[in-house]
Chain A
């Protein structure tokens, strides 16, 4: 039995401007009719979470992440679909949202904990632990309105730690508090996960998603765009962003010249869809030459966002193409033992005149380096960890 299952869940937010329509809307709701949706915030999202199987929800702002978390937390009723919950949920949608500014931190613990679902007995038992975790000293006896935002968050998270939930839902709570408190939160979270806790995390930090979650769900305009193992989803998501950034940077338009790349193919060695970094890939380029002189071709490997990784030309390497037709020349080369990290890349081929002076149009072909990793960057530098003492010598 899954801890949480969503099936085809969707949420429409109704139009808010209609003035006279408000009464009609209430009448509709009372008759049990759904309000006419104006904005589709979420559309047919399905997911399953089992005990200990954490899920990271990623996506751009406005993609529906918060709406999804609110539906799971029970704050928002879905317009369509089915939600099944078999356990106790603690939702930290906004730390300290239940606090009243006029009351002391101590007095606020009660309502905040009751809202999260603790019974009065449990609250009484755990109050001491909450105060200790918040660690804000004598301020616990001051009204909340005198607190700094960091202190409010500390108290809010402290209340949450006192819960013993089956699923913990958090919305970017790691970006809170000072360095030492953040560490405290992460330590607590890791212990919670080690003890079999289940986490539903909504974050823009791919680092946290990959570190804390086995699975990830990528929401795009309210729809589930990718759902699966966290490293793969996070990789695709980052690539999507790199490409998006690249689209925004304007490219100087290369004048349509006489030397034209007519075809470019990138084929993984040994077949398959993704490139094995050890075996590498083959590149085949054909260039049309207007005067039948052998052209030069420039080959570059770039990241999905256009960041150059490596480039060379047939002239630099002293390679001559094979003439396949009167005005056609073919180049072929193989890249292997790639030091590239898993991710999305592109091969770019420019045609140039025989002197290698003028670059003409270019062709691009995408490829994916297979694998998963938690290393950062795009290129693996050979390295070795040495004993700390050795450096001093």
Chain B
């Protein structure tokens, strides 16, 4: 006997519930990737072109206009590129996932299925596209003689996974909150922009005035970016205690996001 408030998955035999979940995720994922570029002639290329244009603009503004001081031994292009793609993936995944439930309101009102899959697919699609761009850009930079160290991938890949886990948690929380409080998506725009500039993505932590440095350094995303640079630009891949803390925080974010989503999900239909 199954009580009423089970999510739909449990109403099916366990094995088929699992494969159904995977099938739903795959469907939403493919849809998400395709609809983003469907109808645009260049298609998937946009996933790479857009961040490349951004990188070009930053390069022009910082090295040609501001003539920023040298970043040690590193070139500005490699320095920013290594940090920019993870940031864009996180930022875009959060803002897209936040509105993803409203985009599927018709389905949520008419069919019983685990609605988390919509958020998962939205986050996963964004990450997949930006990871693809990341790999291409790193390879191109390397080919043009920029100091990219591929042995750093040993650390970079786990860092991406930590980022994905943390972002998924945030996305679940924000997406479920957005259903009830429509301001979330509007608040996110300036918040994400401010967050980008207070994170050492376009500048090294060493340029920050001493008084502010502990504050900027406390930014978890700043930590991730620094570790990313350590690995891919310097080749320093030895694990640090902070890595374990980051992993725990990411898992906690995911657990918290999931808890919040599951608490709110039964009421989505009332508000969408």
Contacts and interface: CB of A to CB of B under 8 A. Distances in A.
B33 interface: no
A116 B111 contact: yes
A70 B269 CA distance: 10
B44 to A, nearest CB: 16
Interface residues of A, number: 45
Contacts of B160: none
Q: Is the interface of A mostly helix, strand, loop or mixed?
A: mixed
B271 A26 contact: no
A203 to B, nearest CB: 18
Contact of A119 (B19, B112, B177): B19
B111 A97 contact: yes
Contact of B23 (A75, A84, A89, A120): A120
A78 interface: yes
Interface string A14-27: 10100000110110
A14 B24 contact: no
A160 to B, nearest CB: 12
A114 B20 contact: yes
Interface stretch (A29-37, A177-185, A188-196, A355-363): A29-37
Interface string A88-101: 11010110011010
Interface string A117-128: 111110100000
Interface stretch (B4-12, B53-61, B76-84, B201-209): B4-12
B107 A78 contact: no
B38 A115 contact: no
Contacts of A76: 269-270
Interface string A30-52: 10100100000000000000000
B111 A115 contact: yes
Contacts of B106: 97
A85 B5 CA distance: 11
Interface string B92-122: 0000000000000011111111000000000
Interface string B1-32: 11111111001100010011011100110010
Size band of the interface chain B makes with A:
35 or more
Interface in A271-292: none
Contacts of B19: 119-121
B266 interface: yes
Contacts of A86: 1-2
B263 interface: yes
A236 interface: no
Nearest to A95: B110
B109 A119 contact: no
Interface in B167-185: 177, 180-181
A-B residue pairs, 6 tightest by C-beta: A74-B112, A77-B266, A83-B4, A111-B27, A97-B110, A114-B23
11 contacts: A14-B267, A22-B181, A26-B181, A29-B267, A77-B4, A89-B112, A100-B31, A110-B23, A111-B27, A116-B111, A123-B23
Interface of A: 13-14, 16, 22-23, 25-26, 29-30, 32, 35, 70, 73-78, 81-86, 88-89, 91, 93-94, 97-98, 100, 102-103, 110-111, 114-121, 123
